[in-house]
Chain A
Amino acid sequence: MGKHKSPARYSAAGLAWRGLRNKSWPRVWREPELKSAYDVVVIGGGIHGLATAYYLASNHAITNVAVVDKAYLGSGGSGRNTAIVRSNYLTPEGVAFYDRSLDLYNTMSTDLNINVMFSERGHMTLAHTDSALRTMNWRAEVNKLQGIDSSVIAPDEIKKLSPSLDTSPNTRYPILGALYHPPGGTIRHDAVVWGYARAADAYGVDLHQKTEVLDILCEGGAGPNGKGAGGKVTGVRTNRGDIHAPVVVNCTAGWASTIASMAGVRLPITTHPLQAAVTEPVKTFLPTVIVSGSLHVYVSQTDRGELVFGASVDPVANYDMKGTLEFTEELAGHVLELMPGLSKMRLMRQWAGLCDMTPDYSPVMGPTPVDGFLVDVGWGTYGFKAGPVSGEQMAACIAHESMPDLIAPFVLSRFTDGTLVGEKGAAAVGH
Chain B
Amino acid sequence: MTTRLPAQPNEVIDRSKPLAFTWNGKKMRGFEGDTITSAILANGEHIISRSMKYHRPRGVLTADFWDPNTSVQVGDEPNVRASHRALVAGMAVSAQNVWPSLKYDAKAANGLVGRFLTAGFYYKTFMKPAKMWPAYERVLARFAPGGKVDLDTPHGYHDKRYAHPDVVVAGGGPSGLAAAVEAARAGASVMLVEHEHDLGGHLRWGSNDDADALAGLVAEAESAGVEILTNSTVTGRYEDNWLAIAQRNHPIAVERLIKARAKVLVVAPGLIERPYVFAGNDLPGVMTSGAVRRLIAMYAIRPGNRAVVLTANESGDAAIDELERAGIEIVKVIDARTGATVTKASGSKSRVKAVTCSDGSIVDADLLVTATGWTAPTSLLNMSGDRPVYDPASARFFADSPPDNVLTTGGIAGDGNRDELISHGRSTGRLAAARAGVARHRIQAATTRATAVDGPEPAYPDDTRSPLGRDPHPELFRSTSHGMVDFSEDISSKDLFGAAAEGFDSVELLKRFTTATMGPSQGKLETVNTVAVLAEARGETLAEVGTTVWRPPYAPIALGALAGRVFEPVRVSSIQPWHEANGSTPILAGQWVRPEHYGAPQQEVRNTRANVGITDVTPLGKLDLQGPDVAKLLSQLYTNKWMQLAIGSVRYGIMCAEDGVVLDDGVTGRLGDEHYLMTTTSSGAGGVWNWIENWLQTEHPEWQVHVTPVTTGLTSINVAGPNSRELMSRLVGDDIDLDPDAFKYMQVRTGTIAGVADCVVWRIGFTGELSFEIHVPSGHGLHVWETLLGQGESLGVAPFGLEAQRIMRLEKGHFIVGQDTDGLSKAPTTGMIGLLKFDKDDWAGKPEVAWALEGDYPRIVAIQPTDPSIVPDEACQILREGTKDIVGRITSSRFSPTLDRAVCLGQVTPEFAGPDTTLTVQLVNGEQITARVMQHHAHFDPEGERLRG
Contact = CB atoms under 8 A, between A and B. Distances in A.
Interface stretch (B238-246, B406-414, B753-761): B238-246
A343 B156 contact: yes
Given A324-B238, A332-B562, A347-B562, A282 B146 contact: yes
Interface string A324-339: 1100110111011101
B152 A134 contact: no
Interface string B843-864: 0000010011011000000000
A268 to B, nearest CB: 10
Interface string B73-111: 000111100000000000000000000000000000000
Interface in A298-346: 303-305, 322-325, 328-329, 331-333, 335-337, 339-346
A425 B254 CA distance: 40
A351 B118 CA distance: 28
Contact of A346 (B556, B563, B886): B556
Interface in B416-431: none
A6 to B, nearest CB: 15
A418 B855 contact: yes
The contact size tier of chain A is: 35 or more
A174 B587 CA distance: 11
Contact of B875 (A16, A138, A304, A332): A138
Given A172-B570, A280-B520, A336-B559, A28 B115 contact: no
Contact of A115 (B118, B125, B146, B504): B125
A1 interface: no
Contact of A28 (B148, B504, B522): B504
Given A117-B122, A282-B144, A284-B141, A348 B133 contact: no
Given A280-B79, A281-B146, A15 B562 contact: no
B384 to A, nearest CB: 10
A255 interface: no
A163 interface: yes
A332 to B, nearest CB: 4
Contacts of A174: 588
B133 A117 contact: yes
A15 B553 contact: no
A329 B877 contact: no
Contacts of A107: 130
A280 B556 contact: yes
Contacts of B873: 137
Contacts of B886: 92, 142, 145
Nearest to B924: A141
B78 A163 contact: no
Contact of A20 (B115, B148, B242): B115
B641 interface: no
Contact of B498 (A25, A118, A342): A25
A212 interface: no
Interface stretch (B301-309, B449-457, B463-471, B819-827): B819-827
Interface in A164-211: 164, 172-174, 188, 190-191, 194, 209
A141 B562 contact: no
Contact of A305 (B146, B497, B556, B879): B146
A209 B873 CA distance: 54
A12 B566 CA distance: 50
Interface stretch (A33-41, A73-81, A365-373, A385-393): A73-81
Contact of B125 (A15, A282, A359): A15
Interface string A70-97: 0111110001000000000000100000
Nearest to A198: B503
Contacts of A19: 113, 115-116, 118
A265 interface: no
Contacts of A329: 257, 562-564
B140 A164 contact: no
B153 interface: yes
A47 interface: no
B563 A347 contact: no
A406 interface: no
B551 A342 contact: no
B501 A29 contact: no
Interface string B539-565: 000000000000111001111111110
Contact of A285 (B149, B254, B824): B149
A305 B551 CA distance: 20
A283 interface: yes
A78 B125 CA distance: 22
Nearest to A335: B559
A351 B503 contact: no
A110 B497 contact: no
A14 interface: yes
Residue from A11, A128, A140, A174 having most chain B Cβ neighbours under 10 A: A11
B945 interface: no
A284 B562 contact: no
Contacts of A20: 115
Residue from A130, A283, A359 having most chain B Cβ neighbours under 10 A: A283
The contact size tier of chain B is: 35 or more
Given A145-B886, A285-B151, A347-B557, A114 B501 contact: no
Contact of A347 (B123, B150, B553, B570): B553
A418 B877 contact: no
Given A131-B683, A209-B506, A350-B553, A11 B558 contact: no
Contacts of B113: 19
Interface stretch (B25-33, B366-374, B508-516, B742-750): B508-516
Given A25-B501, A75-B508, A344-B76, A325 B566 contact: no
Contact of B877 (A130, A142, A335, A349): A142
A160 interface: no
Interface string B570-582: 1000000000000
A342 B121 contact: no
Interface in A87-138: 92, 106-107, 109-110, 113-115, 117-120, 128-131, 134-135, 137-138
B259 A325 contact: yes
Contacts of B238: 322-325
B502 interface: yes
B153 A340 contact: yes
Nearest to A341: B151
Residue from B242, B497, B502 having most chain A Cβ neighbours under 10 A: B502
Contact of B141 (A129, A163, A164, A303): A303
B249 to A, nearest CB: 16
A118 B130 CA distance: 10
A5 interface: no
Contacts of A113: 127
A27 B124 contact: no
Interface string B126-150: 1110100110010011001111111
A142 B924 CA distance: 11
Contact of A332 (B78, B145, B156, B559): B559
Contact of B151 (A11, A24, A163, A280): A163
B359 interface: no
Contacts of B855: 418-419
A279 interface: yes
Interface of A: 10-12, 14-16, 19-20, 22, 24-29, 31, 71-75, 79, 92, 106-107, 109-110, 113-115, 117-120, 128-131, 134-135, 137-138, 140-142, 145-146, 163-164, 172-174, 188, 190-191, 194, 209, 279-285, 303-305, 322-325, 328-329, 331-333, 335-337, 339-351, 359-360, 418-420, 422, 424-425
Q: Which 8 A-B pairs have the closest CB atoms?
A: A305-B144, A343-B560, A424-B823, A281-B146, A346-B556, A332-B562, A137-B875, A10-B124
17 contacts: A119-B134, A141-B875, A141-B924, A173-B588, A282-B79, A283-B147, A305-B141, A325-B236, A332-B559, A336-B560, A343-B156, A343-B560, A346-B556, A348-B520, A349-B551, A419-B855, A424-B822
Given A343-B558, A425-B822, 11 more contacts: A119-B133, A119-B137, A137-B873, A138-B889, A145-B884, A283-B146, A285-B149, A305-B141, A343-B158, A418-B852, A422-B823
